[in-house]
A and B are shown apart, each in its own frame.
Chain A
Amino acid sequence: MVAHLLSLKWRLLLNGFKRSPAQLIGMGIGLLYALGILVLLIGALIALRWADAEIAHTVVVLGGAAALLGWAVVPLLASAADMTLDPSRFTTSAIPPGQLLTGLALAGFIGIPGLATGLTALATVGTWWRSFPAVAGALLGAILGALTCIVLSKVVTTATAGLASSRRFKDVSSLVFFIPLMLMGPIVVGIVDGVRGTADYLPALARTVSWTPLGAAWSLGGDLEAGDVVSAGLKLLIAVATVSGLLLCWHVLLQHALVTPPYAGGSAKKGGKRGLFDVLPGTPAGAVAARALIYWMKDPRYAGSLVVVPLFPVIFFFSGSQSGDYGMLMLLGPLTAFVMAWSICADVSYDNTAFALHLASGVRGVDDRLGRAIACLTISLPLVLLFSIGPFFFTGSWVWAPNLIGLSLGTLFTGLGLSSVISARYNIAVPLPGDSPFKKPPGNVAQTLAVQMIGMGALVLLLLPQLALMGAQLFTGSIVPGWINLGVGPLVGLALFIGGVRLGGKWLDARGPEMFAQLSVNR
């Protein structure tokens, strides 16, 4: 039975490759990337063979502990847990629990993360290739440690399976995931500073961690190399107890999960609140705008596409405070305008097959385009104005204000027009409705990238006159080009916006069924 589970997992992994050639190329690139990191890690661990034993011990223990934490936390937050062998799918198969447990645990190693963790853990044997006891200890530790990673992640995902399958939890957890991302810059700087200041402290930290379940397994090699057999013995006990405890937890949870199917759903709510549908104009375009705005607020995938926007001011302000020059802050407006306008390229792709409603209702393409663009404009216009005027309160270089506000508005309108055309013709690989915004999207990633690159090139071309006006002010120092840009930017942008909505609408009218057929491929 264990062998059956393993071969099932292997078959599932192989079938993942039976896709279209374009998808294979995308997966190939991803695999190469993972392989590169893996080779780098293994190389580094083997290179540590010639490093000081204390340093090697510190790196191995802290790295191992971090890997364990990662296995516990990442699947939960990213909703990326590998549920191909979801225990609830075996409910009706009546597999003896012991065998199911063993099979699922070993199957955890079949798959890119599991395999990578296993191989990296085994590379620590190379690190301790110094004496026989050290090698033996490292090997034992690697096996125990990697197994602990897999089992811990299974315990966490099984315990939260019921919770994680509820829509609310998914939505919230994927948004909680943004917070560290948004503050990534300061956090990294803080950690680097902290490490620089307390480099001496790390070995002590590693020694402490090595007595906890997180690090016990990873320190066996180091302790035996140092000849500390008593510590090694005690830590072996801790590591074994950890795995056994986790296995016991998993066993109990699995028993529970097998008889309790996950429950999803909320309480019934009476109607009467049509929300934005009562506020916006009761026309097809108005309805599309209302629907799109509701999605901007309720669908985490939309927020996911905008995660970088709040990041910009943090990064620019932070780098400004380091160098004392806040000039970079002035880029905030145009950059935000670009990202916001570009985000609706994916709008129809986010709809997925729900687009059938537009198609079957005979919505005119223009109404579809206009509604989506207006929803985006409602959110982005105040934001862009804020971000293009705000920085001048810090820099005080108000001579640049007209030029930058003109460029920001021009970028926003032009970008919205261009996105309206592009998204009428091409769909983009995005996570499916209800999936985490961070989940790897199904579909043709290579085509998505090509369309995006060409589209951005076109946008730069359309914005050339405005960029030239920026240049003119830079070289002449005169504010006149700035005032011209303040007028030209929004006007030309608006004209391109209207043109884009019209052209995109025409394309959508002509090729709506083909668009729908493309969308139906990934559902």
Chain B
Amino acid sequence: MTEPRHEPFSQPSHIGQSAPLESAVEPGLSAEPHTDLPVSALSIRGLAKRFGGKIAVDGVSLEVPVGSFYGMVGPNGAGKTTTLSMATGLLRPDFGTALVHGVDVWARPLEAKKLMGVLPDGVRLFDRLTGEQLVTYAGLLRGMDRDVVRPRVTELLAALDLEADAGSLVVDYSAGMTKKIALASALIHAPRLLVLDEPFESVDPVSAANIRGILESYVSSGGTVIVSSHVMDLVQRMCSHVAVVAAGRVLAAGSVDEVRNGSTLEERFVQLVGGGHRTEGLEWLRTF
């Protein structure tokens, strides 16, 4: 998986410059900073991370414009979660950095985190709190005033159809409800940038539509959302921009129309990522 010419682990001197990956990105789908926008909501520059011998993220650079609904798609193990963890201050990168509205996440973490709402994937919650307590806790941790937190919690729980279970312990919630309460915790402080890792996983269609509605109105009023997902259809309909990530690298990035280039996002994705072999073999499956 390593081609030395854009390998940050072999050429650490590249890091800190804008994009060590230019050569990997297709022409016209550049991940270069958009010069017409002064400051990106999230600017990821040459992030790289190695776990033991395995390189999980190999120099990812992305510019997420303010007011965009940015999708990040990629096969399992592509490094989406690792990239987002490094961009949100949860995982220290080996190389590269991330800026949120111009604030360096790793140089001024407390300041940068104030601007972000984060829904990490695969972490536990303080699940012996009730749903209502958990969201309240998230608000108070952000240093918000109790009188501001209280009505917001009520509204958020109503918007996410969690009113009826507000007083149940989160440990007794279903998977979808847990996802929704974690989302509420990420929204409570009205961040300027939302980073959501797999926000629609195991969420029922009605709630997913509600969440989409909330996120779309958030974006239309100037907020920025970056979501990771496997569901191409959803990303194509919902997002304004998309980045295709595989094996720790950005294969294509830009507006959805640019990236899909006439075909559907799913077809383009399979074409970029490869591995979509014809369904030969498995003949026995048709013999019953």
Contacts and interface: CB of A to CB of B under 8 A. Distances in A.
Contact of A274 (B132, B141, B169): B132
Interface string B170-201: 01101000000000011000000000000000
B123 A513 contact: no
Nearest to A272: B167
A143 B91 CA distance: 54
Interface string B91-132: 110000000000000000111111010101011111111111
15 contacts: A167-B172, A269-B165, A269-B166, A284-B140, A287-B141, A298-B128, A298-B169, A351-B124, A354-B123, A354-B127, A356-B90, A358-B141, A362-B109, A434-B171, A509-B110
Most buried by A among B91, B111, B114, B185: B91
A265 B172 contact: yes
B163 interface: yes
Contacts of B127: 354, 433-434
A275 B169 CA distance: 13
A291 B137 contact: yes
A354 B126 contact: yes
Contacts of A286: 140
B132 to A, nearest CB: 4
A266 B171 CA distance: 10
Contacts of B150: 274
The 8 A-B pairs at the shortest CB distance, nearest first, are namely A271-B166, A362-B113, A269-B167, A282-B146, A287-B140, A271-B132, A353-B123, A360-B118
Contact of A361 (B91, B123, B141, B171): B141
Interface in B19-33: none
A264 B116 CA distance: 34
A453 to B, nearest CB: 29
Interface of A: 167, 264-275, 277-278, 282-284, 286-288, 290-291, 294-295, 298-299, 351-354, 356-364, 433-434, 509, 512-514, 516-517, 520, 523
B143 A284 contact: yes
A270 B163 CA distance: 7
A299 B128 contact: yes
Contacts of A362: 89, 109-114, 142
B166 A361 contact: no
A167 B174 CA distance: 13
A269 B127 CA distance: 15
Contacts of A294: 128-129, 133
A23 to B, nearest CB: 16
A433 B126 CA distance: 9
Contacts of A266: 168-169, 172
Given A284-B143, A364-B110, A354 B130 contact: no
The residue among B112, B118, B145 with the most chain A CB atoms within 10 A of its own CB is: B118
A38 B18 CA distance: 64
A421 B264 CA distance: 54
A294 B116 CA distance: 27
A353 B124 contact: yes
B88 A295 contact: no
Q: Looking at B112, B140, B166, which has the most chain A CB atoms within 10 Å of its CB?
A: B140
B164 interface: yes
B48 interface: no
Nearest to B128: A298
Contacts of A269: 130, 165-168
B124 A360 contact: no
A291 B126 contact: yes
B138 interface: yes
Contact of B140 (A268, A273, A277): A277
A272 B91 contact: no
A295 B171 CA distance: 13
Interface of B: 88-92, 109-114, 116, 118, 120, 122-133, 136-138, 140-143, 145-146, 149-150, 154, 157, 163-169, 171-172, 174, 185-186
A357 B185 contact: yes
Nearest to A523: B124
Contacts of A267: 168
Nearest to A280: B140
B236 to A, nearest CB: 28
Contacts of A358: 141
Residue among B124, B154, B174, B186 with the highest chain A CB neighbour number at 10 A? B124
Given A267-B168, A513-B92, 18 more contacts: A167-B169, A268-B164, A269-B166, A271-B132, A277-B136, A278-B146, A284-B141, A287-B140, A291-B126, A291-B137, A351-B124, A354-B123, A354-B124, A356-B120, A357-B141, A360-B88, A360-B113, A361-B138
B140 A282 contact: yes
Contacts of B130: 269, 271, 273
A188 B61 CA distance: 67
A523 B123 CA distance: 8
A509 B122 CA distance: 23
Contacts of A509: 109-110
A356 B119 CA distance: 10
B131 A271 contact: yes
Contact of B126 (A268, A357, A513): A357
Contact of B136 (A274, A352, A353, A517): A274
Contacts of A284: 140-143
Nearest to B109: A362
B262 to A, nearest CB: 39
Contacts of B154: 271
A295 B89 CA distance: 26
Contacts of B118: 360
B133 A277 contact: yes
Contacts of B166: 269-272
Given A298-B128, A363-B141, A513 B91 contact: yes
Nearest to A367: B141
A273 B167 contact: yes
A270 B164 contact: yes
Given A361-B142, A513-B90, A295 B128 contact: yes
B51 to A, nearest CB: 10
A357 B125 contact: yes
Find the residue from A284, A359, A523 having the highest chain B CB count within 10 A.
A359
Contacts of A283: 140, 143
A281 B94 CA distance: 39
B141 A288 contact: yes
B81 to A, nearest CB: 11
Contacts of A433: 124, 127-128
A357 B134 CA distance: 10
Contacts of A523: 123-124
Nearest to B150: A274
